[in-house]
Amino acid sequence: MSNPTSQQIKSITPPSIEEREVQTLEAIADSQYLTEGWPMLGTPHDARSIIQLLMRHSLAIRDPESPRVKQFVNRYYEVSTWNIQTVNFIRLHYELQQFFGRLDELFFFGLLTRSVARPSSGRKNLLELGIFDTVSAEGCYGLCSNQRSTSASAKPTTGSGSTTASSPKLESKEPPKSEAERQIGTLEAVADGLFGPSRHRGRYDTPYDGRTMALLSINHCLAVQDPSSSRVTRFAEQYAEVKTWYLETIDFEVLKDELWQLFARLDELFFFGLLSRKVDSPMGRRPVLIVEIIDDYDKKCHYAGRYLPKEGKIRLWLRDYRHPENRRSFRVILGTLLHELTHAYLGLADKKHENHGKWVADCKSHGEYFWALLQYLAETIMKFTDSPSWREEMDVIDAERSIRCLLVRIQPASALASFQDIAVGASGTDLEF
């Protein structure tokens, strides 16, 4: 009988004690809102055990140098400089929701944002965070719902000793959502179901076709809403620093971390954080998009980058097959990353829409609104960086667009909608959705 290979040994290695403890907590979370009671559990889950689990094995403890820890620290320092009184509530709401997700990931094993079944409302996060720009009726600084509550954002209830006749109850109401906010919510719902058992796209309240998605980013992304944001400044500073590097001498792990940070910044500035959003998949929680960076050249098709929608990832090859001894320039790598992220964002679009081919899917997923959005993104980065080398990348984008139009015998690039025509109507104001 032959000896098992190292791969076979790895596949049958039992989970560690802490892994089994996390699995126990996941089983409890999955049963939190069910009426049948909790399942039989193989490891202790008393308060002492789970506190020790957090203190010894959370991501923040196991990998304090993780890019996710660095992103949290950078975000903290950035937001701590804000004057909260002058910040738009919608933006502050978004930031706090982001902090909630990052804290859960760093310290609580993603349990609080885990998608679980609820009898009356389908699948939702274990804990929902409600944020109100008003005063609590009880005068409390914060409220926590009970264990079987349907949401952590439930309205506060009056205590048994209160007298509603003498003191009218104040209600905390969320402000009505704008059309753009509802469209972002629709895209979040689409992303949440992207890797479900049947990859089913349900019925949504707002459209999410390629044109709508391009317009949403062009008119409502963070880079447009707040171009003076410190996050824009940090992106420009990172760009200015990395473009001066001689990439041949940079350690691959360092370069990979920088590109991952650029991915997170681009997603935040232009794509509403959708691409780095954590969602359920058959293999567990994962980002909507995984960025795979390879310090080699594409030996099959000689691509600089490629979007793989079925796998939910993009691949970047840092080297050119014509000169494999050298890495590509930073300009080319960033331009490729931006190109593939545009594919991934529009990959969430409604494929059943009658104009999906013309707007997104034609020319091997290089439809007219792909180019309109990509050109807008490139122009905006040019405004932020004022970089002559990035101007060269914009020329490359224009040339590639013209060549693809010529090769597939569709309308010339001049006849396609430019991003200026799309973003601004005849009156000079944002087009309505």
Per-residue pLDDT, averaged over 385-398, amounts to 90
The answer to whether residue 266 is domain-embedded is yes
3-state secondary structure 324-362: EEEECCHHHHHHHHHHHHHHHHHCCCCCCCCCHHHHHHH
Q: What is the pLDDT of residue 34?
A: 59
Shared-domain flag, residues 147 and 207: no
**Is 414 in the same domain as 271?**
yes
Where residue 365 falls (left for φ over 0; alpha for ψ -120 to 50; beta otherwise) is left
CA distance 102 to 99: 5
Report d(CA 50, CA 148) in Å as an integer.
Answer: 20
User: Does residue 430 carry a pLDDT above 50?
Assistant: no
Claim to verify: residue 113 and residue 219 sit in the same structural domain: no
| CB neighbours of residue 153 within 10 Å | 16
Backbone dihedral angles phi then psi of residue 306, each to the nearest 5 degrees: -155, 140
Cβ atoms < 10 Å from Cβ of 313: 18
| Whether residue 192 is found in the same domain as residue 144 | no
| Residue that has been written with the tokens 């899917």 in this structure | 361
- Cα–Cα distances (Å) from 50 to 9, 25, 31, in that order, read 30, 9, 17
User: Does 353 lie in the same domain as 210?
Assistant: yes
Q: Which residue has the tokens 């975000």?
A: 75
For the chain, give the number of residues: 433
Percent of the chain's residues with pLDDT above 90:
30
For residue 346, what pLDDT is reported?
Answer: 95
Q: Quick check: is 400 in a domain?
A: yes
Return the higher-pLDDT residue of 369 and 404: 369
Question: pLDDT category, 158, cuts 50, 70, 90?
Answer: very low
Kindly report which listed range (22-31, 246-255, 280-289) carries the lowest average pLDDT score.
22-31
Contacts of 303 (CB under 8 A, 6+ apart): 315, 317
Query: Residue 171: inside a domain, yes or no?
Result: no
pTM: 0.58
Q: Coil, strand, or helix at residue 194?
A: coil
Q: State mean pLDDT over 298-313.
A: 90
| Cα-based distances in Å from 345 to 60, 98, 220, 281, 384 | 29, 19, 15, 18, 21
| Amino acid at site 80 | S
Name the phi and psi angles at 292, rounded to 5: -105, 120
Q: Are residues 138 and 281 in the same domain?
A: no
* Measured distance CA(146)–CA(157) in Å, rounded: 12
The residue among 147 and 119 whose pLDDT is bigger is 119
Are 140 and 54 in contact by the 8 Å Cβ rule? The answer is no
**Residue 426 pLDDT:** 32
In this structure, the answer to whether residues 243 and 359 fall within a common structural domain is yes
pLDDT band at 36 (very low <50, low <70, confident <90, very high): low
Q: What share of the chain is helix, strand, coil (3-state, %, to 5)?
A: 50, 10, 45
CA distance 397 to 332: 11
pLDDT of residue 148: 39
DSSP per position, 6-30 = HHHHHHHPPPPHHHHHHHHHHHHHH
Asked if 221 and 124 sit in the same domain, the reply is no
Q: Average pLDDT of the chain?
A: 77
pLDDT digits (tens, 9 = 90+) for 102-116: 888 888 888 887 777
**In contact, 153 and 130? CB cutoff 8 Å:** yes
- For 433, the token pair is 């959705």
**126 in any annotated domain:** yes
Cβ neighbour number for residue 164 with a 10 Å cutoff? 8
Collect all residues with Cβ–Cβ distance below 8 Å to 412 and sequence separation of at least 6: 402, 405, 406
Half-sphere exposure of residue 334, counting CA atoms within 13 Å on the CB side? 29
Above pLDDT 70, what percent of the chain?
72
Q: Which domain holds residue 62?
A: 15-154
For the segment 218-277, what is each residue's pLDDT rounded down to a tens digit? 999 999 988 888 889 999 999 999 999 888 889 999 999 999 999 999 999 999 999 999
Instruction: Answer whether residue 182 is part of any domain.
Output: no
Q: Residue 204 has what pLDDT?
A: 72
- Classified as helix, coil or strand, 196 is coil
Give a yes or no: residue 311 inside a domain: yes
Residue 299 has pLDDT above 60, yes or no: yes
| Tally of domains in the chain | 2
Q: Would residue 57 count as lying in a domain?
A: yes
Residue 294 lies in a domain: yes
Pair (142, 83) in one structural domain:
yes
| Residue 122 · residue 145 · CB < 8 Å | no
In DSSP terms, 118 is beta-bridged to 122
CA distance 264 to 261: 5
**H-only helix segments in 243-385:** 252-270, 330-346, 356, 362-365, 368-385
Residue 371 has pLDDT above 70, yes or no: yes
Containing 91, the helix (H) or strand (E) segment is helix 89-107
In this structure, the answer to whether residues 137 and 223 fall within a common structural domain is no
Shared domain for 225 and 314, answered yes or no, is yes
CA atoms of 238 and 241, how far apart (whole Å): 5
Measured CA to CA, the distance from residue 422 to residue 390 in angstroms comes to 23
pLDDT tier for residue 428 given thresholds of 50, 70 and 90: very low
Radius of gyration from C-alpha coordinates of the chain:
24
Cα–Cα distance for residue pair 399/363, rounded to 1 Å: 15
* Maximum Cα–Cα distance across the chain: 84
Which amino acid belongs to residue 367? G
Question: Collapsing DSSP states into helix, strand and coil, what is residue 306?
Answer: strand
The answer to whether residues 137 and 236 belong to one domain is: no
d(CA 336, CA 333) in angstroms, rounded, equals 5
Mean pLDDT calculated for residue range 66-91 = 78
